[in-house]
Amino acid sequence: MLTLALILIPLLAVTAILFSGSANARKIALVAAVLNIAASIGAIISECSGFSLNVLSNPNINLSLDLHYNGGISVVMLILSVIVTLAAVLSGSCPVGNEKLWYSSALLISAGAIGAFISTDLFFFFAFHELALIPTFLMIGILGRGDRKEIAWKITVYLAFGSIILLAGILMIANQLESFDMTKLKALEHHQNEIALLLIIGFGTLVSLFPFHSWAAPAYASAPAPVSMLHAGVLKKFGLYGLLVVGYKVVPDGLAHWLSLLLVLLLCNIIWVGLVTINQKRLDLMLGNSSVMHMGYIFLAVAALIDNGSSFATEAAVLLMFAHGISIAMSFSLADRIQSKTGSLELNQLGGLAKNAPNLAFLFGLVGMASIGLPGLANFAGEIMVFFSGFEGWDPADGLGALQITTIFAIWGVVISAVYMLRAFKNIFQGETVSRTDKVKPLSRKEKTPAILLGLILLIVGIYPNTILQFFN
C-alpha cells in the first residue's frame, strides 16, 4: 500500500486543494510534498511489495505499481521526483487568486511523474505521463510569461506528437508480447527495427532529442518556476527512463540498428544546441537550451549501453539524470528570483548583482558550476562515468569507433557549457552594479530555502555518489 500512497498523497492533496480555499493551497501542497518524501523513504527502506489492481481484463490491464522492479532506476527517479516537488512548491511566487491552479498543478505533475516511474504496466506507464502533461500545458497557457498561448500550443502539439508516436510503439510491443505487463518484457522477435525507431522518436521528442527539441527552451522560459522545475527536472526524464527500462529490454537489436543515427542526434544535442545556447541573450532561454544540450550526455550513456553493453552506463545515465534534474530545478528556481528582484533576465541589462545579493550569487554560482561539471558536485560524477562508458569497450587495435569519436566530440561540450555559463555569470553578477541591480536585497530565508535544499543535494551526491549509486546494488 505504501507504493500506492506515493501517488495517492499528491492526488488526495489536489482534491483537498480544490475543495478548500485558496488560502490553504500552499500549506496543503507543502504538507503533501513533505509527506511524500516520508512515504518514499518508507517505501525504499521497507522494500515494500508492489500494488496491483485489475482495471480491465480483456486485454488485461492492471494498475500495477512496483517501486523495486526496475531496481535502482525507479528508486532514484522517485527520490528525484519528491525532492524536486518539494522545492517546486517552495519556489516561484503565485499570482494572487491562482493558488488552486498553481499548487494543484505542481502536485499533479508530480503524481503523474511518480506514477510513470513506478508503474509496471505499459498502459499506465504511458497514461501517467500524459496526465502530468495536462497541468503543464494549462499552467503555461494561463500563467506563463511572454507569448504564453503560442508557446503552450507549441509544446502541446509537440509533446502530443511524441506521445502518439510512442503510443504506436508501445502498442506494437504489447501486441507482440500479448501483455502490457512490464515484468514480462523481453527481446521481441519481430519488427525490432521499426519499433526501435518509434521509441527513439517518441521518447526522444519527450526528452528534446534533436531535432525534436525546439519546444523545450521557450516552454521553460515561459512556464511559472514550479512547472519548469518539475518538467525539466523530473518529467522530461521519462523518455530516458523509458529507453532504459522498456526500449533496451524489448528492442536491443533494433536500437543497435539505429545506433549511428542516435549518435548523430545526441551529438547535435550537445554541439548544435550547445552553440544555440551560447547565442542566447536571456537567462531563462539559455538555461532551457542548456538543459536540452545536457540531455545529449545522458543519451550518450544510453548509446554506450546499446553499443557495448557497458557495465556501468545505466548507472551513469541514471546518476546524471538525477544530477541534471536537481541542478536544472535549482537553476530555474534561482532564475525566477533574479527575474522578480530585477525585473529582467536579459543578460545585457544586468550586472554586479553579487554586490547586493551575495547569497544569490553564491547559490547561482554553485548550480552554474554543477551544470558545467565541476567535481564535487553531482553532475560531474555522472558525466565522468558517461565519458568513461564511451571508451569502455574500445579496442585500440580497431582505431577509434563511432562511439569513441562521438564521446570525444561530446567532451567538447564541456568547453561549450563553460563558455555560456561563465559569460552569463559575469554579465549578471560581476562588474559594476546597474540601475536594475543597485537596490536589490539578498535572498530572504524563504526565497533561498528551495535552492539551498537542492544545492545541498548536489554537494552530497557530488562528494559521495554512493548516496544514489547504492540503490543499484
Partner 1 sequence: MEFILWLLFILPLASSALIHFALKQKFASLASKIGTISTFATLVIAILWLSDVFTTPESWTWISVGAFEATIGLVGDQLAKGMMIVVCGIGFLVHVFSLAYMDEDESKARYFGNLSLFMFSMTGIVLAENFIMMFIFWELVGLSSYLLIGHWYQKDTAADAAKKAFLSNRIGDFGFLIGILMTWILAGSVIFSEMDGNAFIGHGAYIAGAAVLLVFCGAIGKSAQLPLHVWLPDAMEGPTPVSALIHAATMVAAGVYMMARFFGSIGLEALAQVPAVEFIAYVGAITSLVAALMATQQNDIKKILAYSTLSQLGYMVMAVGLLEPNAGMFHLYTHAWFKALLFLGSGAVIYACHHEQNIWKMGGLLKKMPITGFTFIIGTLALTAVPFTSGFYSKEGILHAAHANDKPYFFWIAVIVAALTTFYMLRLIFIAFLGEAKDDHSKHAKEVELRMFGPLVLLAIMAFASPFVSSFIPANGFTPDTAFHANFVTAVSIGAFVIGFILAFLLYKGKKEDPINIPLFQNKFYFDEFYAGIVKWFQDLLAAVIHFLDEFVINGLLVGGLTRLAQGTGNLFRKYGQSGNLQHYALISGVGILLAIYFTVFSK
Contacting partner 1 within 188-217 (CB under 8 A) = 211-212, 214-215
Q: Which of 103, 131, 96 lies closest to 117 in space, CA to CA? A: 131
- Given a contact cutoff of 8 angstroms between Cβ atoms, the answer to whether 91 and 226 are in contact is yes
Looking at residues 226 to 265 of the shown chain, list those that interact with partner 1 (rule: CB under 8 A): none
Q: Is residue 411 within the footprint of partner 1 (CB under 8 A)?
A: yes
Q: Is residue 133 within the footprint of partner 1 (CB under 8 A)?
A: yes
Looking at residues 390 to 409 of the shown chain, list those that interact with partner 1 (rule: CB under 8 A): 390-392, 394, 396-397, 407-408
Interface pick for partner 1 out of 46, 183, 260, 311 (rule CB under 8 A): 311
Contacts of 208 (CB under 8 A, 6+ apart): 215, 216, 236, 269, 291, 292, 295
Looking at residues 88 to 127 of the shown chain, list those that interact with partner 1 (rule: CB under 8 A): 123, 126-127
Q: Is residue 322 within the footprint of partner 1 (CB under 8 A)?
A: no
H-only helix segments in 144-271: 148-177, 192-206, 216-222, 225-230, 237-242, 248-250, 252-257, 259-267
Cα–Cα dist 353/436, whole Å: 9
Q: Which stretch binds partner 1 (CB under 8 A): 36-44, 92-100, 165-173, 239-247?
A: 165-173
CB of 252 to partner 1, least distance (A): 18
How far is residue 325 from each of residues 85, 87, 398, 411, measured CA to CA in Å?
11, 12, 37, 20
How far is residue 29 from each of residues 3, 99, 180, measured CA to CA in Å?
19, 10, 33
- 117 vs 312, beta carbon nearer partner 1: 312
- 258 vs 425, beta carbon nearer partner 1: 425
Looking at residues 60 to 89 of the shown chain, list those that interact with partner 1 (rule: CB under 8 A): 61
Q: Which three cell numbers stand for residue 46?
A: 521497507
- 35 vs 153, beta carbon nearer partner 1: 153
CB of 174 to partner 1, least distance (A): 7
Answer left, alpha or beta for residue 399, where phi above 0 means left and psi between -120 and 50 means alpha: left
CB of 337 to partner 1, least distance (A): 20
Interface pick for partner 1 out of 38, 164, 187, 402 (rule CB under 8 A): 164
Q: Which residue has the cell 502498442?
A: 171
- 26 vs 154, beta carbon nearer partner 1: 154
Q: Which stretch binds partner 1 (CB under 8 A): 75-83, 223-231, 322-330, 415-423?
A: 415-423
Q: Is residue 355 within the footprint of partner 1 (CB under 8 A)?
A: yes
Which amino acid appears at position 146 of this protein?
G
Q: Is residue 428 within the footprint of partner 1 (CB under 8 A)?
A: no
Interface pick for partner 1 out of 349, 431, 434, 449 (rule CB under 8 A): 431
- 142 vs 177, beta carbon nearer partner 1: 142
Q: Is residue 359 within the footprint of partner 1 (CB under 8 A)?
A: no
Q: Is residue 142 within the footprint of partner 1 (CB under 8 A)?
A: yes
Looking at residues 364 to 393 of the shown chain, list those that interact with partner 1 (rule: CB under 8 A): 369, 373-376, 380-381, 384-385, 387-392
Residue 57 CB neighbour total at 10 angstroms: 8
Q: Which stretch binds partner 1 (CB under 8 A): 185-193, 231-239, 267-275, 325-333?
A: 267-275
Sign of CA dihedral 21, 27, 28, 33: positive
- 48 vs 180, beta carbon nearer partner 1: 180
Q: Is residue 141 within the footprint of partner 1 (CB under 8 A)?
A: yes
| DSSP per residue, 106-149 | HHHHHHHHHHHHHB-BHHHHHHHHHHHHHHHHHHHHHH-SSSHH
Interface pick for partner 1 out of 239, 429, 443, 471 (rule CB under 8 A): 429
Answer left, alpha or beta for residue 320, where phi above 0 means left and psi between -120 and 50 means alpha: alpha
Indicate the pairing of strand 61-65 with strand 51-56. Answer: antiparallel
Secondary structure class of 56 (helix, strand, coil): strand
- 24 vs 161, beta carbon nearer partner 1: 161
Looking at residues 1 to 60 of the shown chain, list those that interact with partner 1 (rule: CB under 8 A): 56, 58-59
Interface pick for partner 1 out of 85, 119, 163, 228 (rule CB under 8 A): 163
Cα–Cα dist 348/280, whole Å: 11
Q: Is residue 350 within the footprint of partner 1 (CB under 8 A)?
A: no
Q: Is residue 130 within the footprint of partner 1 (CB under 8 A)?
A: yes
- Asked if omega into 59 is within 30° of 0 (cis), the reply is yes
| Residue 365 CA neighbour count, 13 Å, CB half | 12
Q: Which three cell numbers stand for residue 328?
A: 536544472
- 82 vs 265, beta carbon nearer partner 1: 265
CB of 192 to partner 1, least distance (A): 20
- 33 vs 469, beta carbon nearer partner 1: 469
Cα–Cα dist 280/105, whole Å: 29
Interface pick for partner 1 out of 35, 256, 422, 460 (rule CB under 8 A): 422
